[in-house]
Amino acid sequence: MRRVLRGPRPEKVPSLVGAAVTLVGLLDIAAGVIPRFRHSRMHSLAEVLPGTFGPFAAAFSLTVGVLLLLLAHGLKRRKRRAWRSAVILLPVGALAQYIYRHSVIGVLIALALLALLLVHRREFAALPDPRSRWKALANFVLTTLGSIGLGLVIVSSHPKTIIGNPDFGDRLTHVLYGLVGFEGPIDYARQASWTVGYSLGALGWIIALTTVYLALRPEHPAARLTEEDEVRLRALLDRHGARDSLGHFALRHDKAAVFSPSGKAAVTYRVVSGVMLASGDPIGDVEAWPGAIERFMEEAKAHSWTPAVMGCSETGGEVWTRETGLDALELGDEAVVDVPDFSLSGRAMRNVRQMVKRIERNGYRTKVRRVGDLEPEELERIRRAAADWRGTETERGFSMALGRVGEPGDGDCFIATAHKAAEEGAPPGPYGDIKAVLHFVPWGSDGMSLDLMRRDRAADPGMNELLIVASLTAAPGLGIKKVSLNFAMFRSALARGEKLGAGPVLRGWRGLLVFLSRWFQIESLYKFNAKFQPRWEPRFVVFRTTRDLPRIGFAAMQAEGFVTLGLPRMFTRRSATQRTSRPCAHTDRPALERTA
């Protein structure tokens, strides 16, 4: 059989170019920062690369290196603007290479990389990511910190030419002065002072130019659910909402939507750290799902986002993998209770039954109603209570949480509340007699799906059990036949690992999950859900390649609110109520919310 030699696959070109640019950038920085590197055997090879001029232009070498490193990631992600910048920078570097060193090899290497970029220019067509003016501030902070660190290396890399013995404070002061173009307190012999000064000045220019560029470029805000898209999604949910218990969560305001060409199906998503996260199954007619999925994948390709789906059903996972070639992995199980089969009688429900009766004897009563049936004053108290009783500074949830309570248009949701009158002579609380709140969203016309669970930390333990039982008991009167409770990650591994005869691998996996439950309530959610004897519906994560899983996992944790990249807690103010609502050791702590 004839063997055909092929060049690099087109989809591999961005990665190869990005890797080459990263290598060149690192060598340029080393040539500009470390004097010994400029006299080593490695530099004799590196100096022919574009942008490297050895001791004659250390500052320019450093500038080119930093800029190439900034462009490398964008080239790997096929970003059009990164391609344009590299196309400009490479010939400039080649020209400077020839002027300073008369290096024909350096020019040829630069032109070879430039030719590779031009030949495969269609591969670098990804659109910019959503951004805001805050990116300029983030760039200023990060590049300033990085430049200070690199500047300390530059200042300390000429020990034989430093006059005197400056301490760390003098070195830091010299760096800060150099970044803004002034001479610092450290003196150098020979020409090292010029090299250090120009290098620090180059870093300062990089900080200024990149920050100004990010501040002045057109703003592309993060996608939000428009009013038109919300109307279309609600119409799809009215017709097909019974298919997926997570369908109503597509109405979160921080999600965007792509629709099939026929408009009969849609996929909602959010972009986090370059990952395009869809949640649950597509909304609408199953026959139209492939069209919506195709639009989703086209959008991901256009922006060079990593596509992923969190929490889809088995049917949804089969369609996603069939239509896109992606892979699926079981993420956990959703607890679903069939209302006609629920009963507090029997040995299996004894603990729940006893807890509920004990709480009722302590004077608690419950109410289960639709949001639209509540008086505005009571709804406002419930909303304030739910916000103040939140155990975290940020609202958690993405794939299995709505993120709001009682807003216009959500009158078909359900609210279960626990009440207890204040003791005689005691002043009423800020929320009246409300002690706990459960919020459910519709699941078709005959189901509801648990959204959030909040309670007063001063209330008796067991509020969540009380309200779930009250909701299941009141469900028939509301026309509800099925209720979706919490999602339990890796539920099957925990269940099988504790059974008799489990192998060492399964027991070890369960042990790791139990250990991780100290920070992520994996085991506690499973045990809490199991109290109500539900049936378990598996949920899956859909991904492109195994190497994408860590990135997808980190993005999902950001979206769900478990990882925040905002200001440290010391710089944020919390209300007195929030400061007293930290997680406690009770079974119904805030971690037993909808999201795992």
Give the lowest-confidence range in 35-39, 88-92, 126-130, 562-566: 35-39
589: pLDDT confidence band, cut at 50, 70 and 90?
A: very low
Give the range with max mean pLDDT: 39-43, 49-53, 439-443: 439-443
Secondary structure of the chain: what % helix, strand, coil (to 5)?
Answer: 50, 15, 30
* Paired tokens of 472: 């299941």
Flag whether 56 is in a domain: yes
How high is the pLDDT of residue 448? 94
Please state, in angstroms and rounded to a whole number, the distance separating the CA atoms of residues 186 and 199.
Answer: 15
Q: How confident is the model over 266-304, as pLDDT tens digits?
A: 999 988 878 899 988 999 999 999 999 999 998 888 888
Residue that terminates a domain, selected from 219, 254, 276: 219
Give the lowest-confidence range in 6-10, 35-39, 232-236, 366-370: 6-10
Higher confidence at residue 198 or residue 350? Answer: 350
How high is the pLDDT of residue 8? 38
Average pLDDT over residues 400-425: 85
The percent of residues above 70 in pLDDT, for the chain, comes to 73
Give the lowest-confidence range in 73-87, 284-298, 368-382, 491-505: 491-505
Residue that terminates a domain, selected from 197, 219, 241: 219
**Do both 393 and 475 map to the same domain?**
yes
CB 452 within 8 A of CB 386: yes
Flag whether 594 is in a domain: no
Backbone angles phi and psi of 507, in degrees to 5: -65, -40
Higher confidence at residue 232 or residue 24? Answer: 232
CB 245 within 8 A of CB 447: yes
Give the lowest-confidence range in 105-119, 137-151, 220-234: 105-119
pLDDT at position 219 over 70: no
**Residue type at position 378:** E
Flag whether 120 is in a domain: yes
pLDDT at position 44 over 70: no
Sign of the C-alpha dihedral computed for residues 181, 182, 187 and 190 taken in this order: positive
Strand 482-489 and strand 447-455: pairing? Answer: parallel
Which residue's structure tokens are 């970003």? 79
Which residue's structure tokens are 């709001």? 404
How high is the pLDDT of residue 394? 54
Longest dimension (CA), the chain: 95
157-170 exposure pattern, b = at least 16 Cβ within 10 A, e = fewer: bbeebbeeebeeeb
Higher confidence at residue 1 or residue 149? Answer: 149
**Do both 290 and 360 map to the same domain?**
no
Average pLDDT over residues 9-18: 64
**Do both 152 and 212 map to the same domain?**
yes
37: pLDDT confidence band, cut at 50, 70 and 90?
A: very low
CB 342 within 8 A of CB 315: no
CB-based burial label for 544 (10 Å; 0-12, 13-18, 19+) = middle
Distance from chain centroid for Cα 504: 34
How high is the pLDDT of residue 80? 77
CB 58 within 8 A of CB 35: no
Average pLDDT over residues 358-381: 91
**Do both 142 and 100 map to the same domain?**
no
Give the lowest-confidence range in 14-28, 312-326, 369-383, 573-587: 573-587
Give the lowest-confidence range in 144-148, 195-199, 431-435: 195-199
Please state, in angstroms and rounded to a whole number, the distance separating the CA atoms of residues 46 and 62.
Answer: 14
72: pLDDT confidence band, cut at 50, 70 and 90?
A: confident
Total structural domains within the chain: 4
Higher confidence at residue 398 or residue 236? Answer: 236
Flag whether 502 is in a domain: no
Average pLDDT over residues 400-423: 87
Give the lowest-confidence range in 138-152, 444-458, 466-480: 138-152
Q: How confident is the model over 466-516, as pLDDT tens digits?
A: 999 999 999 999 999 999 998 887 777 766 666 656 667 667 766 776 676
Tell me the C-alpha to C-alpha distance, in Å, between residue 591 and each of 88, 412, 533, 586, 596. Answer: 52, 26, 20, 10, 8
**Do both 124 and 161 map to the same domain?**
no
* Paired tokens of 351: 């603990």
Please state, in angstroms and rounded to a whole number, the distance separating the CA atoms of residues 67 and 73.
Answer: 11
What is the CATH number for 249?
A: 3.40.630
How high is the pLDDT of residue 509? 60
Residues 6+ apart with CB under 8 A from 55: 35, 38, 195
pLDDT at position 336 over 80: yes
Flag whether 539 is in a domain: no
**Do both 476 and 354 map to the same domain?**
yes
* Paired tokens of 565: 């990249």
**Do both 475 and 359 map to the same domain?**
yes
Give the range with max mean pLDDT: 57-71, 165-179, 560-574: 165-179
CB 583 within 8 A of CB 390: no
**Do both 306 and 382 map to the same domain?**
no
3-state SS string over 486-552?
Answer: EEEECHHHHHHHCCCCCCHHHHHHHHHHHHHCCCCCHHHHHHHHHCCCCEEEEEEEEECCHHHHHHH
pLDDT at position 6 over 60: no
Consecutive H or E run containing 455:
strand 447-455
What is the CATH number for 454?
A: 3.40.630.30
Average pLDDT over residues 368-380: 91
540: pLDDT confidence band, cut at 50, 70 and 90?
A: very high
Average pLDDT over residues 39-44: 46
Flag whether 493 is in a domain: no
CB 101 within 8 A of CB 47: yes
**Residue type at position 464:** N
How high is the pLDDT of residue 475? 93
* Paired tokens of 418: 């626990």
How high is the pLDDT of residue 338? 94
Flag whether 286 is in a domain: yes
Average pLDDT over residues 184-208: 77
How high is the pLDDT of residue 103? 57
Consecutive H or E run containing 17:
helix 13-33
**Do both 374 and 393 map to the same domain?**
yes
414: pLDDT confidence band, cut at 50, 70 and 90?
A: very high
Q: Residue 7's domain spans which residues?
A: 1-128
What is residue 117's three-state secondary structure? Answer: helix
How high is the pLDDT of residue 40? 46
Give the lowest-confidence range in 140-144, 374-378, 441-445, 483-487: 140-144
Q: What is the rounded average pLDDT for all residues in the chain?
A: 77
Q: How confident is the model over 221-264, as pLDDT tens digits?
A: 566 788 899 999 999 999 999 999 999 999 988 888 999 999 99
Flag whether 372 is in a domain: yes
How high is the pLDDT of residue 569? 43
Q: How confident is the model over 512-534, as pLDDT tens digits?
A: 766 766 666 677 777 888 889 99
**Do both 57 and 123 map to the same domain?**
yes
**Do both 281 and 410 map to the same domain?**
no
How high is the pLDDT of residue 269? 92
How high is the pLDDT of residue 73? 74
Residue that terminates a domain, selected from 219, 237, 268: 219
105: pLDDT confidence band, cut at 50, 70 and 90?
A: low
CB 169 within 8 A of CB 194: no
Average pLDDT over residues 556-578: 54
**Do both 69 and 118 map to the same domain?**
yes
Alpha helices in 131-256 (DSSP H): 134-156, 168-179, 192-216, 227-240
